[in-house]
């Protein structure tokens, strides 16, 4: 068992929605109510939202992570609009 680094209480492992639609296994201190994510879970979450582009016909394509698509109600056939803001690609539903 892991202890809270502040109050040394035994941490409880829970599944929590850390952002809308994104669930993670976290360790919670029942005393401080702070929560921590272990390194493996952190890496899993980072990997969840990282995608590699690929060629599709003459275009460059990228898969939208299911968690993000579900969160924004995007499915196959949804019309989206591309814009560039501060050097970043922004894809928004029309």
Chain residues binding Zn ion by CB under 5 A are 4, 6-7, 9, 29, 31-32
Q: Which helix (H) or strand (E) holds 47?
A: helix 39-48
Residue 15 CB, nearest distance to Zn ion (Å)?
A: 20
- Closest approach of Cβ 77 to Zn ion, in Å? 48
Whichever of 7 and 71 has its CB closer to Zn ion, that residue is 7
15 strand-pairing partners:
25
Residue with smallest beta-carbon separation from Zn ion: 4
Q: Helix, strand or coil for residue 75?
A: coil
| Dist CA 94 CA 12 (whole Å) | 43
- Tell me how far apart the alpha carbons of residues 27 and 8 are, in angstroms, rounded to a whole number: 13
Between residues 24 and 29, which has the closer beta carbon with respect to Zn ion?
29
Least separation in angstroms between residue 4's CB and Zn ion is 3
Which tokens hold the place of 30? 């029942």
Of the pair 30, 47, the CB lying nearest Zn ion is at: 30
């Amino acid at each position: 068992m892991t202890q809270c680094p502040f109050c040394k209480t035994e941490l409880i492992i829970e599944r929590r929605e850390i952002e809308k639609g994104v669930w993670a296994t976290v360790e919670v201190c029942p005393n401080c109510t702070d929560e921590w994510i272990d390194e493996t879970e952190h890496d899993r979450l980072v990997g969840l939202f990282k995608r590699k582009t690929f060629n599709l016909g003459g275009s460059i394509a990228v898969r939208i992570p299911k968690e993000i698509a579900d969160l924004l109600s995007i499915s196959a056939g949804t019309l989206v609009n591309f814009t560039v803001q501060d050097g970043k690609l922004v894809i928004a539903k029309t």
